[in-house]
Each structure stands twice: as structure tokens, then as C-alpha cells.
């Protein structure tokens, strides 16, 4: 939940779980894979930027909208 809650702060939508869950549900599965224990995710200034950087460094397509980030 730490990753998702940090992303939600980036999107200025803290606590809007219903909308995020629905957006995730409508997103294609298995587009990228994260290691949530990677040190880059401990306390980044922006979680969405950290996830994007992680995806680029692992040769994966980075999510661009809240649904795929949450998925």
C-alpha cells in the first residue's frame, strides 16, 4: 500500500480508493513489474517519478496514468 498511497499523493487524490481501483481494473494487466523492496521506493520525493525511473532502468514500459500505476 505504501507505493499506491505515495502515488495518490502525487496525483493529489489521497483516499480516493474507489476511483483508483476502477481505473486499475480498466487497465491492461502485466505491463510492468516492480520489486516493491527496491531501495528507490523507500522515500522518494515523487513515487510516480521513482516508478517511472525504475521501469526505464529495467527496460519496461512505464505507466503514464493513475490506472496503470495502480495496477
- C-alpha–C-alpha distance, residues 67 and 5, integer Å: 13
Model confidence, pTM: 0.89
Residues 1-38, buried b or exposed e (16+ Cβ, 10 A)? eebbebbbebbeeeeeeeebeebbeebeeeebebeeee
> How does pLDDT run across 22-62, given as a tens digit for each residue?
999 999 999 999 999 999 999 999 999 999 999 999 999 99
pLDDT score of 15 more than 90: no
Q: Which of 42, 27, 55, 23 is nearest to 13 (CA)?
A: 23
What are the domain boundaries of the chain? 2-70
Amino acid at each position: 500500500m505504501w507505493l499506491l498511497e505515495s502515488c495518490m499523493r502525487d496525483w493529489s487524490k489521497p483516499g480516493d480508493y474507489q476511483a483508483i481501483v476502477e481505473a486499475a481494473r480498466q487497465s491492461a494487466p502485466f505491463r510492468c513489474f516492480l520489486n516493491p523492496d527496491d531501495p528507490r521506493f523507500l522515500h522518494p520525493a515523487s513515487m510516480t517519478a521513482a516508478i517511472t525511473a525504475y521501469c526505464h532502468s529495467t527496460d519496461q514500459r512505464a505507466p503514464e496514468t493513475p490506472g496503470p500505476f495502480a495496477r
